[in-house]
Amino acid sequence: MADSGSKTPRKTTVEKKPAAGAAKKKKKQGFSAGKVIFWMLAAAALAAISAMGVYIFVILNGNKILQQNIDKLDFSEASIIYDANKQEIGVLKVENRINVEPNEIPPLMKQAFIATEDKRFEDHTGVDFLGIGRALVKDVVARSMVEGGSTITQQLAKNVFLNADKTFFRKATEMSIAVALEQQKTKDEILTMYLNYILFGNQAYGVKAASKVYFNVDKLEDLKLWQIATLAAIPKAPSRYNPLKDAEKSKERRGVVLKLMQEQGYITEAQRAEAAAVDYEPPTKTAGTAGRNQAFVDYVLKEAQTNFNLTEDEVNRGGLKIYTTLDQNAQQIMEQTYANAKFFQKSPDDQIMQSSMVILDNKDGGIVAMVGGRDYMRGGLNRATSAPRQPGSSFKPLIAYAPAIEAGKYTPYSMLKDEKQTYPGGYSPRNYDGVYRGQVTMTEAVKKSINMPAINTLQEIGVSNATKFVEKLGITLDAQDRNLAIALGGLTKGTTPLQMAQAYSAFANAGTLHTAHAITSIVESDGTELQFKDEAKTVMSAKTAWYMTEMMRTVVEPGGTGAAAKFERPVAGKTGSTQLDLKGLEKYNRDLWFVGYTPEWTGAVWMGFDKTDSKHYVSMSSGSAGVIFKEVMQKALAKRPVTQFKKPSGVPDLKEELPPKGVTDLKAEVNPETGFVNLSWSSVGDGITYQAFRKDSTMADYPAEPLFSTQSTSYKDQSAYTPGMTYTYMIVALKPENGAEGAKSNEASVTIPGKTENGKEEPGKEAGETGKEDPGKEGEDGAVPGTDGDGTAQPGTGTKPGAGGTTQPGTTKPGTGTTPGTETDGTTGGTEEDAGSAGGSGDTGTSSGTDTGGETGTKTPGSTTTRPSTGTAPVPSGTSGNGKQPAERSTGGQSGSSISVMPDGT
């Protein structure tokens, strides 16, 4: 017990110790909390003192910077542009600025800018800390400086500095100047300075200059609400939202401005809706002027922003040296040509015929010269780069022929189908001249710009493969452009001359594509040099590029659609036109194109009207664009040595791809003794393979697969035996080593003599002559070897009809698509039950080949028709009929005497 009692206090003591410890911990925690509160108060006091010090520093620093840089608010050094020879060609500077006084600015205009740019303008002292907080949140979420949070005063302060990158250091400096400005200027003065100094695009600084440029309005008080909102929409992104560059985007942004004004109580909902609905129409005469090189200079300004990440304001005020690719001689010749009215169609009113042109240097993609339009004004619509139009047939080489050759299945001499047809979906295009030639070489299709071969080629290679190919050339197609109409340039959005010239330059450069560009380098005011980085890439094989060049050289030769573009240098190219779809005017065009190249340069010309209607359409010759191409290129290259297109090493000579000549003397006749159709023709060369095709009078076209292939110049067709049926044959010669096909031969036709299904006797060679039975015993195998010494005819035996009633399988030549088949419906090759059928009743036999009536039996691939039930018995001889091309073989002896040769075109 004693032991047990002595242990209990120990346990109690042990249990109490934590309690004592806990009490001590509480005491310690109370001391720490007090210290924390103390230090928090101390830190707050220190922060307040520091903040006051920072604020005093910001104020002093802001005033100091403002005084040191106040002159910079009057803008600074211009940027100089140099051509390819480092000669000055233009200046980018602030030269269009008209100051206004506070009383000249209508209240509605002030409200529009305050609502859009700084709704708390009247409340803050230069810096809107709520706006900054909002911007910081967005920056943290985006993990980058994406939101400016600048007030109107800060934006004005920013004009002091050239560096507009969004960094906290620049932001702090901007804030200090903004605070200083608020101390020294009234709100009205700050807003007036802001509206006088900000950039509105097109080198228009200040709201008054902008009203002149965009609306040709001199007094701000004359501006309407929609015009004021349009101006207020621009400063956020002058190159994007100015209405001369993009009226649709400008209208969208205007709608945002009007909505903000309505929400903040400056206008009513009715006013907002009315102003938002107005469509912008450029003034007849803008405040801008068009000087020499103007379209090129404007493009340089755009490229400095897109390729070098500079703002328009930085370029205008940065004192930059911008080195470009311009050839001043070519530019001057191009501008002189466009100033000559004789090259253009007259217009019935003020809307003149427009045109644009661009030339690229093949070796590096540099822009040699550029014209954006006949009446191009500074900052206006550059039709060479920013106004896509339907390219018409000039798109065929890019979307159909080049990808076909690149796929390895075609050569310039490949025979292409040229027949009128309707494609899936009801697409029914036509050739421009209404002529369909049956088949043409790819070269002829390119030279004469024939439509159907291009569409058929695109269908063969696949739209998906073709669009992938053309997108490698820098032309992005719309999602809706996944149809056969693109073979003729029927695009949703169209292309620009710059895009077309860049794509074609790959043909001239052995398949290598250089990015089209105007700027080679920029030297900043501190000496820092920014270089353009050309990302050259191989977009097609040198072989494809060479073959395309060889084909397109024929376009400018006599008989080609681009003959007007030829001059005393090697030239290749392609014409294009798009048909007018206005009722009664379908023979005229919307657009004309010529895209061509020499070994040195590639040029693209577009002609048409900005707005096509019943008074404004193209009635000039389709070769007119080629005339301008020739005029400019011939003169611009006159002082340069003439060079030749050079075949890239390793590319086979095109002569090796030459197809064989076409057979022109095919003959067909029925052998009166055997009943076979004997075919014969003359040789067109050594080592040539001849493919024979056959159709009968029930077929609209030839089967896809040949009836036979042979290297002989004769053949016995044992499968053409239906009495009264007309068989038509055609031969295609080809080189087995490369698959190059010659033209289709003339067509030769025969009509098998004998009685037809209706019991009428088919006339034979001699009227009334009856057929005699095939040699051989009734019922025995009347096999005919099928070979005629050429090793290509059918090796199997054929069954001649007889009285014995045995069935003998017939064998056809392997590889021709013909297989034996037993017919079981009382027709050819089966048990004949029609006592009136030629050859007697009870005959049985087997035939193989194309059925041509309504029976079952073996069919040749590609044929969808069947033979009528007439039997295979001997038939009386008769005269032949007219027909066109080959059919298939089947066994079975026939007798008769008939000869018929149908030349092409009869």
Q: Which residues are the active-site residues? A: 117, 393
Token pair 């690719």 is at which residue? 325
**Tokens 């909390």 map to which residue?**
33
Q: Which two tokens stand for residue 49?
A: 């003192």
Nearest to 658 by CA among 414, 407, 453, 403: 414
How far is residue 500's CA from residue 473's CA, in Å, rounded to a whole number? Answer: 9
Instruction: Give yes or no for a contact between 533 and 421, defined as CB atoms under 8 angstroms apart.
Output: no
> Is 390:409 a contact under the CB 8 Å cutoff?
no
Ramachandran area for residue 566 (φ above 0: left; ψ -120 to 50: alpha; else beta): beta
Pair 398, 475: CB distance under 8 Å = yes
CA–CA separation, 43 vs 678, rounded Å?
113
Distance CA 892, CA 849 (A): 12
DSSP string for 702-729: --SS-SEEESSSEEEE-S---TT-EEEE
Residue appearing with tokens 């309504």: 854
Asked if 485 and 452 count as a contact pair (C-beta separation under 8 A), the reply is: no
Q: What does the block give as tokens for 673?
A: 């003794």
DSSP 654-715: GGGGPPPPPP---EEEE-TTT-PEEEE----STT-EEEEEEEETT-SS--SS-SEEESSSEE
Spatial separation of the C-alpha atoms in residues 47 and 766, rounded to whole Å: 124
- Residue 795 CB partners (closer than 8 Å, separation 6+): 785, 786, 787, 811, 813, 814
Q: What is the dihedral angle through the alpha carbons of 399, 410, 445, 491, rounded to the nearest 10 degrees?
A: -10
Alpha helices in 76-167 (DSSP H): 107-117, 129-142, 152-158
SS3 per-residue string spanning 772-823:
CCCCCCCCCCCCCCCCCCCCCCCCCCCCCCCCCCCCCCCCCCCCCCCCEECC
Provide φ and ψ at 596, rounded to 5°. Answer: -150, 175
Report the distance separating Cα 381 and Cα 311, nearest Å: 20
Cα(790)–Cα(739) distance, integer angstroms? 22
Can you tell me whether residue 853 is helix, strand or coil?
A: strand
Say how far apart CA 826 and CA 870 lie, in whole Å. Answer: 9
For residue 883, give the H/E element and its range.
Answer: none
Phi first, then psi: what are they for 220, rounded to 5°? -65, -30
Tell whether the torsion through CA atoms of 126, 131, 132 and 133 is positive or negative. positive
Half-sphere exposure of 649 (CA within 13 A, CB side): 0
Distance, in Å, from the CA atom of 899 to the CA atom of 749, rounded to the nearest integer, reads 9
